[in-house]
Structure formats: structure tokens, C-alpha cells
Chain A
Amino acid sequence: MASCDMRLFGIRHHGSGSALRLIAALETFSPDALAIELPSDAAELVARLQITRHRPPIAFLHYDQDKPERAIYLPMAVFSPEYQALHYAWTNAVPVHCIDLPAAAGLCLSRSSESAKVHIQAEYAHMVADPIGYLARQAGYRDGERWWESHFERWTDHEQLFALVCELMGALREQTGGMDDGETLLRETWMRRQLRALLASGCRRLAVVCGAWHAPVLSTAQLEVTPESPLPEIKTCAAAGAIIPWTYRHIALTPAYTAGVPNPMWHDVLFQHKDHAPAAFLSHAAQCFRKHGHEIAPSAVIEACRLAEHLALLREFPAPGIEELLEAASVLMPLKQTGFDPEDKLLYGEVTGYVELSRESLPFVQHFHNRLTALRMNRFWKDGPPPERLLDLREPPQLEVSRFLHACVVLDLAWALPVELDWNARGNFNERWMFHWNPGLEIELVELALLGNTLEQCCGARIRQKIGSAHALPDIALWLEHSLKAGLDELWPDLAAALDRICLQDHDLVQLARMIRPLQAILDYGSLHGTPTDFAARSLEGLLSHLVNRFSNHCIQLSQDRAQAMMEALLAVQYHLDKNGSGEWVSLWKGQLRSIAHHRESHPLLRGKCWSLLAGLKEIDEREFLEALQREFAPQIGVQQAAEWFEGFLHGQSPFFLLLPDALQCLNQWLAVQEEEDFLAFLPLMRRSFAQMKASERKRILQALEGHRSNQPSDWVWLLHSERMSIIDAGCHRRG
């Protein structure tokens, strides 16, 4: 043990400054063995990574085979010191030893260490997670790298640098008085053990790369002083490992990942370009914006560089940091409002790593295939399968299949498509699915594996992604439907909240009315299958209150197309209230209909429809109706308006009220007053409306008219006319 020279290199995870210094230090030191703070069972992954074609950022994934959602991720970017250490080892054929606690144990610990955490104060927790960041914040810097740069980058003697870092960390640890997270202490004990074993194995020069926080307790002095303490009983589980591509976005500092850095792209640029990093970063920013359609001139980049330098001067920094660069970019590369967040793109980039993968290694893919086998759907997952499958949802196994397929739809996996999903049919227990398999689906599965380890996790992640960018109501209705049918109840609160939010912003009543049927169908489906759906009930209530309270306001001064659309909406609400309306809504709705019917400015189409609805609901009597008719067909009313009123009135209803003698009289009078051209223009419009009626109803009108024949001057015209009409009627009768 005395003959071995062991050097400790305490690094900051994902710190580009640490990485650069580490490379230089390793090259000077030329170790013949390298110990890295990676779980012991990652050794196999390291070996695999060396021979797999890959491009960082990547991550080591360790997961519990029985419960894939329990997993540990160890990301590495090109600027991560661990990755650079591995790279050095591969290039110089130095054996790598992973000395941290195996993941099999770590996975079991991560659940039980919740209780251990209460023993540390919050401040110390930050200190332990990112000691360099902690020191930076104490010195008043927002970013650890900035502090590192201004204090350590100029250092040329690497030995002294790492020794100094170790001393600093030692001082910090003294402050906490040895009190620490139970898990950390356990890991350090394990690491000491591993190091002792390595030293005893007879290497000459051992380089140890570990997080800076652990450096003080792993020094040679410490190893000699601390006795070999017995390790407590550690539970392990059956863990498997995989290498997966990772993204810069996931290396960012979040409450979930406290070892992250706040601005990965900047570290990347710092690592690649060192002194020219500000210019490189701003060029990258310009490129990024140009890709999204903004034209940034090269002069803007130059000026941004100069502005950043002036800002750094004003703030008394030796060189511009990420804050100065971002501010300079926002001032000199002004973007029109596009809804794309420039800071987001610049900090995280759109960088995803790449790993040549084999299918067996990913937990999600395995999970998916296990499900396929369990549900006996494997024959649909290959080329040329049977194209369709009919499911009867009353059978539990088929209900399971339906749930699975709906989950696939939520994930946008273009494999199974529901056919003829009939909104109208309540209590329909059948579903039809069509399948299209293609080899690209395997790759899609691998991409989905990034979202989670099980089907449910992926669905949740995907829906949350979509909600963030969704603006259209019909989309949300669709996801509500599919996620209900997939049995993903935990997504309901998010979707319902998104729905409520959009309902509030969206004033388009037509869109809102289109949501009624889907929501009602969901409620019915839920009650059939015993799924709790009070979210849908609440959303439906909200929708109805929007619609019923304001409908009449939106019927005024509409264009023709818009009126047709509002007619649709009106019918939808009416249909819904007929079937499921409670007294309160129905009376409010009748009030709305009445106000539309009486309003001078409302569109004649809607007015006519309201009158016929009110007549059908027996809300009005004959006298009122006749008054209205006289107003509608007063001599000065134009043909177009009258025709539209008629169309609305006759839409889908029987013209009972028109058969009143006074009504017909009124119409007659109005017709008589019209000019010839107007009359000719009126005819096709009338024909369209009357064509919707049944033949028997037309006959009744004719009879009623004939009853008035005595008032008409030319009887023979009428005879001719009634003959023709009977021929036409007979013809229609045969057809219809």
C-alpha cells in the first residue's frame, strides 16, 4: 500500500471547468489505474459503452427488474468530468474501476432514505448536493461555474488546484460536523473499502475521480486512520442496466436533479471553445434563431459580443458569463412574438445524444412486449396481420385489450386505430380497431422509452407535454376520451384543468358546444364501467353555464356561415338538454330562446329555429305566434331574410303552426306584395326548406291552401296547379 501513489481529483458533476482541468491533470499524472465514482455494477455498462457507437449526452440507467418505475439515471455529457475520465482511460488503455455503491442496493435505499433526510437541515442538503455551487452562492455569484472561472481557471498548476479544492471541501465538512445523509455516509464507507482493495492489488499510480464533496474522506490519510467498519445489512434487488440517449434539458438543474447545472449549452460551448466561448455562444444563438425563421445579421452577433463585454466590464467581471450573453442576445437579436422561448432553446439546446441500442436493454420496450404477450396481441404486431379486431367490452379480458389500445393512441403510436367511434350510441359495448404495423414502430418505442419505464408513466408524460402546448378544445376532448378509456384516471385532474382554462379563454360558442356530446358520452361510458367521472360532470356544468348564459348575445349580426355554425351549436345544446337537462338549465335555456326569438337583430335563421322550438315546447300560444309571423312577414321584409327564417323554422320540425288559417293568410299577403324578381329569387330558397318536410305534411298544407281557394281570383290556375302538385307528390311518395 505504501508503494502506491494515489491522487484524488474532486470534481464538480457536469462542470466544464472541472473537466478541462481534469484532462490536463490526468495527462500530467499518467495513472495506470482509474477509480471513478460510478456504481460497481456499472462496470459492465462502461465496457459496453466503449465498444458501442455513441455520441454524448448519454445516461446509464439502472432499474429494478420487478418494478421498472424504480430507476436511477446517471447522465453524462461531453463536458462531464466523468465522461472525460472514461475517455482518457479508453484512449490510454487504463483499466477503469467503479467504486460506488452498486445500483442494486442504491435502488432499495432511495425509498428508505426519505426518513434519513429529515436529519439534515435544508442548507446542508444543498451543500452536499453541489458544494461548489454552495461556495459560489456564499461568495455572491449566481452560477458555480462563474465563481470557478474567476477563481480557478487561471490556475496552471493542476496538482495545487485539486489539493486546494480538497481542502475547501474538508473545511465545509468540518462545519457540518460529520452529520450527513445516511446514504452518503454508507456510500463513502463502501468507497473506502473499494479503494483499500485496489491499493492492495498493487497498482503504481491510482487516480480517483469523485465528487468534490467526497474527496476529503477518501484521501490516503483518511484511509489509514479510519478503521475498516463493518457494512450494515443492505437490501438489494434484481437490477438491470442499460445505456440510453439523454438530453441537455434533463441535465439541467431541477429540484428533482440537484446535481444538474442550470445552463448545459453554455458548458458545452465553454468546453469546446474555452477562451472564445462568448463569441461561440452568440453565434450558436444566431444559428438557432435563424433555424426558426428569424433573420439575424452577422453584425448583430458582433455587436452582441461587444455589448456582453461592456456589461461584464460594468459588473466588474473578467469575462462575460451566461447572464451577460443572454441579455445581449435579447437586446440585439430581437424576436417578434412567436411563442418560442429563446432562452429555453439557448440554455438547453435541442441536443439529444445517440446510442446504438439493442431492444432488450430498455425497460419500457420490454414492458410493452410483455403486455403484448399477456394480452395475446402478438399476432397484430408484425407484418401483414389480420387487419381488424372487434372487442366486446363486457368481457374483462377484452376490456383490458381495449384499455391497452387506448393507451397506445394516447402515446401517438400509429399502430392501432379505433374505427367508427359512434358518439351517438350510448351503451355501446363494441369497439372496432384497425391495425397498421411497420418496422418504424420499434424505433418509436425506443424513443418513447425516454418518457418513462412503464406504459402508464409514458402516457402521463406525453399528455403533460401536450397540455402545455395545446390550444384547441377538440384535441383536449379527444385526449380525455382516450385516457378515460385507457383507464388512466390520474391524468384526469390535469386534463380537466386544461379544459377549464381553455373554456375560459375561448369565446367561440360553436367550439364549446361541440364539446358537449363528447363529455356526455364520457360520463355515460364512465357510469357504465364504474369509473369515477365527476371531473367530466364538473367540466360539463362549466360548459353549460358558459353556453346557456351567453348564447343570445352571440346570435346578433352574424354572417351566413357563422349563422349555420351557431345553428349547429344551438341544436347540440337543445339535444343535450332534451336528454339530460335538469329543470334549472332548461328554464334558463328557454329564457335564452325567447330572447333570441324576440330580438330584432338576431339572425333570421336562428330566430326561426327558436320560434319552432318554443312552439314545440309549448312555450308560446297561437296569438303570440301570429304576432311574430306578422312581424316577420311584414311587407318590407326582404326575400332573403324571410327565406332564412323559414329555413330555420322548418328545420327538422313539423310545420304545425303554419297550418293555422291566419298564418297562411299572413304569408299569402306577404307573397302577394313581392316583386316578380324577388318572388323568383324566393322560390328556390323555399323549395329547399319545403323539401325537408314529409310528403304527408306537404299535402296537408296544400289542403289548407285549397280551403282558401275561394279567395283566389283564378280558379283554373289552381286546378292545374293542384294536378301538378299531386303528380309531384305521388312521385315523391314513391321515392320517399
Chain B
Amino acid sequence: MEEKLIRVPAETQFAAELQVLEAEDRRPKPGNWRLSPWAVLKYLTGGKTEQGLEIAPKYIGPRRLLEIAIASLLSDRALLLTGVPGTAKSWLAEHLAAAVSGHSNLLVQGTSGTGEDALRYGWNYARLISGGPSREALVPGPVMRAMESGQLVRIEELTRIPTEMQDALISILSEKCLPVPELELEIQARQGFNVLATANDQDKGIYPMSSALQRRFNVLVMPLPASLEEEINIVRQRVQQLGQSLHLPLEELRQQHVEKLLTLLRELRNGVTHDGKQQLKPTRAVFSPAETISMLHHARIQHHYFSDRPLDAADLVRAILQTFVRDDADEREVLSSYAESVLRKRTAWKDWYDAFHEQLSVK
């Protein structure tokens, strides 16, 4: 029986698309790339193939961002995606790896405990002790495997790796070779090798990159969605996908609820009402799309199990307060002043205002 996985890797989920693109691709491919750069672009932005297959867009945002990402991977510089948490950095990295190298499983997860084994190589200690240093005793890390096979390696949360460990990447990126002094050999990188890193710029406890390392990366800042329509699109699509993977009969989100919710969050994020007329107090939370998606998903599940009325504004307001406000008094004040000064005047938002008023006044 087929095991139901929670999350299928990109190259499996979209295997059909990748196959068709590869078959139709007649343009020159750089060494060891599975698809040509133009085909990768098509995979990411969506469109129709010659055969008529509809390619779903993977990243909804400015096209030029994707062009810069692909152009960076063509050069010998590595690519670093940064931005506020929740702007699809890891998502894009996974899909880029799947399209360029055919798989996205060469991954280093950066934590403050990441050691040299992950970035370079480790040892099979039994073999090492019994037979001394040899090629068989060497356990290559993901980066080394990527170098040897000419593939992309992903490094998530690069800035959570301690600076001393990060510097192990410097010589790999500049000389494209990994010396193994114990065996007196050097692993040279094959064409097609590159490093795709992601980093959050909002966390505490991150280790800043040394300038030598920074110099070897092309830094791309992932933006928050520019327009309301874009954001609605992103959120709806992802919430739908997440809901499907649970195989529960969750209630559909009504379009008007999603619109109002996102308008509200965007206004709070930008600090000004959507018609630009009224300024608002700034909040600390960023209300990024990823947070919104998981909040909505959670609200749907909670409503499914614990409520017998249809999903309405009160549920969404509760979800907002749980996710973003918790018990931060300043944020509560900001939200309550927003409700009083903006929502009260909007007659179409009466149920939202009531929900806020009721839930925020309970101290």
C-alpha cells in the first residue's frame, strides 16, 4: 500500500511537468543542468508547453527576481536568498534545485550545532580505526557530494551556522575545490555545482557572515507581496494545498473573508489604510504570507473539530489574536486602536469590529 507522506518533495510532486519540459527543451544547457535556463524559468513562472500541459506557477511574484536567481546560478557565484521570514525563500530554493539538478535532497540544515561534517566530510570511525584513513572511510557531506556530481546543494539558515563553520565554505566557493589533507587529495567541483543558501534577517541569535563569505554570494532579497491580489492568490493556493493533504472535509474559506482578512493584515503591515488616507500605528509583527497561511490552516482545522457554526469573522479574529498577538500588551493596544479608529467606520466590516471589540476587551 502506498504510504501517505505528509509532504512530497518538489521533484516528485511535479515530476510530470519536469519530464515534459525536459523532453521539449531544445536550447543549450549549461554543464550538468537538467533543464536549460529558459526552461527553468518556465517551470517557475508557469505557462503552457507545446504539448499543451499547463505548468503551474511555483512562485508568484516579480519575474525579474527569478531571472536574477537563475542568472546567478549560471555564474560562478553562489546565491543567497534573504528576507523577512515567510516570503517563500526555502520554497523557491527547493524548486530551483529540483528544476536545475533534478532533485532537491542535497540539503544542509543550518543550526548552531552544524559542524564540519555537514559542510565537508565526516569519517566512518570503525573503518578509520581499523584500516587508517582511506577513501572508503570518508563519509562525504552534502556539499562534497554536490561537488562530485555537479549538482546544486541547498544550505538552509546559513546565518544560524557559527561563523567559524561558515568560513569553511569560503575556499569551496572561491576555488571550487575541497582539500582532504588526511588523504592528500583534492575534490574538484564538476560543472553544475553551486550553493543555494537561505537566511532570515529577523531572528535573534544569528551569526553574521564574514565579509569574505558575503563577497562570494549574490544576495537576493525576497519581497513581501506587492499587491492585495497577489497575496490573496498565494494564500488561497497554499491553504488549499495544505487542506488537501490532510484529507479532511474542511469548510471552504469564503472569498470575502479571505479578502477582508488580507486587507486588514496588509493595512497593519504597511501602517496605512489601503486608500492611503489614514496612518496607523506600526506593529511589530510582519504578517508574512507564510504565517498567514499557517494561521488560516489552523483556523480551519480548529473550526472543523470544535465549532458547529459556519466559519465566520469571529473565528478568524481569534486566530489573528492567537497567532500574532498572544499576550503582548503593546500589540493588543495597537490592534484595539486600529479597530476603533478604522474598522468602526466601515459598515461592511461590522462583524469584524464586533469580534475585535469583544475579544480584545477581555483582559
Q: Which residues of A contact B (CB under 8 A)?
A: 297, 299-300, 303, 306-307, 310-311, 313-315, 323, 327-328, 331-332, 334, 501, 504-505
Contacts and interface: CB of A to CB of B under 8 A. Distances in A.
Interface string B226-270: 000000000000000000000000000000000000000000000
B219 interface: yes
A303 B77 contact: yes
A315 B63 CA distance: 11
Contact of A299 (B41, B64, B75, B215): B215
Contacts of A327: 64, 68
Nearest to B281: A504
Contacts of A505: 279
B218 A331 contact: yes
A150 B161 CA distance: 47
A307 B279 contact: no
Contacts of A306: 75
A311 B67 contact: yes
Interface string B28-56: 00000000011001000000000000000
A313 B36 CA distance: 12
Contacts of A307: 68, 71-72, 75, 77, 218
Contacts of A313: 37, 71
B299 interface: no
Interface string B60-78: 0000100110111011010
Contacts of B219: 331, 334
A314 B66 CA distance: 11
Given A299-B215, A303-B77, A501-B279, A331 B72 contact: yes
A314 B75 contact: no
A311 B77 contact: no
A315 B67 contact: yes
B220 interface: yes
A314 B77 contact: no
21 contacts: A299-B215, A307-B68, A307-B71, A307-B72, A307-B218, A310-B71, A310-B75, A311-B67, A311-B68, A311-B71, A313-B37, A314-B37, A314-B67, A314-B70, A314-B71, A328-B68, A331-B68, A331-B218, A331-B219, A332-B218, A501-B279
A327 B41 CA distance: 17
A159 to B, nearest CB: 38
Contacts of B71: 307, 310-311, 313-314
A314 B41 contact: yes
Contacts of A501: 279
B75 A331 contact: no
A501 B215 CA distance: 40
Given A300-B215, A501-B279, 20 more contacts: A297-B215, A299-B215, A303-B75, A303-B77, A303-B218, A307-B71, A307-B75, A310-B74, A311-B68, A313-B71, A314-B41, A315-B67, A327-B64, A331-B72, A331-B218, A331-B219, A331-B220, A332-B218, A504-B279, A505-B279
Contacts of B77: 303, 307
- 3 shortest A-B CB distances, which residue pairs? A310-B71, A504-B279, A311-B71
Nearest to B41: A314
Nearest to B67: A314
Nearest to A334: B219
Nearest to B38: A314
A303 to B, nearest CB: 6
A331 B220 CA distance: 6
Interface residues of B, number: 17
Contacts of B279: 501, 504-505
Interface in B69-89: 70-72, 74-75, 77
Contacts of A315: 67
Nearest to A300: B215
A505 B272 CA distance: 12
A327 B64 CA distance: 8
Give the most central of A297, A311, A501: most B CB within 10 Å: A311
Give the most central of A307, A327, A331, A504: most B CB within 10 Å: A331
Contacts of B38: 314
Contacts of A334: 219
Contacts of B74: 310
A313 B279 CA distance: 44
Contacts of A303: 75, 77, 218
A308 to B, nearest CB: 9
Interface string B127-171: 000000000000000000000000000000000000000000000
A313 B71 CA distance: 9
Contacts of A332: 218
A542 to B, nearest CB: 12
A331 B71 CA distance: 11
A297 B212 CA distance: 11
A89 B67 CA distance: 46
B217 to A, nearest CB: 10
A508 to B, nearest CB: 15
Contacts of A331: 68, 72, 218-220
B290 to A, nearest CB: 23
A501 B277 CA distance: 11
A688 to B, nearest CB: 38
A310 B71 CA distance: 5
Contacts of A323: 64
B253 to A, nearest CB: 34
Interface string B10-40: 0000000000000000000000000001100
B210 to A, nearest CB: 14
A313 B77 CA distance: 17
Nearest to A307: B71
A140 B72 CA distance: 25
Contacts of A504: 279
A137 to B, nearest CB: 18
A266 B71 CA distance: 22
Nearest to A323: B64
Nearest to A331: B218
A328 B77 CA distance: 13
Give the most central of B37, B38, B74: most A CB within 10 Å: B74
Contacts of B215: 297, 299-300
A668 B64 CA distance: 78
A190 B105 CA distance: 74
Nearest to A295: B211
A664 B218 CA distance: 75
Nearest to B82: A334
A299 B64 CA distance: 23
Interface in B180-219: 215, 218-219
A313 B67 CA distance: 10
B115 to A, nearest CB: 29
A447 to B, nearest CB: 35
A727 B361 CA distance: 63
B289 to A, nearest CB: 23
B215 to A, nearest CB: 7
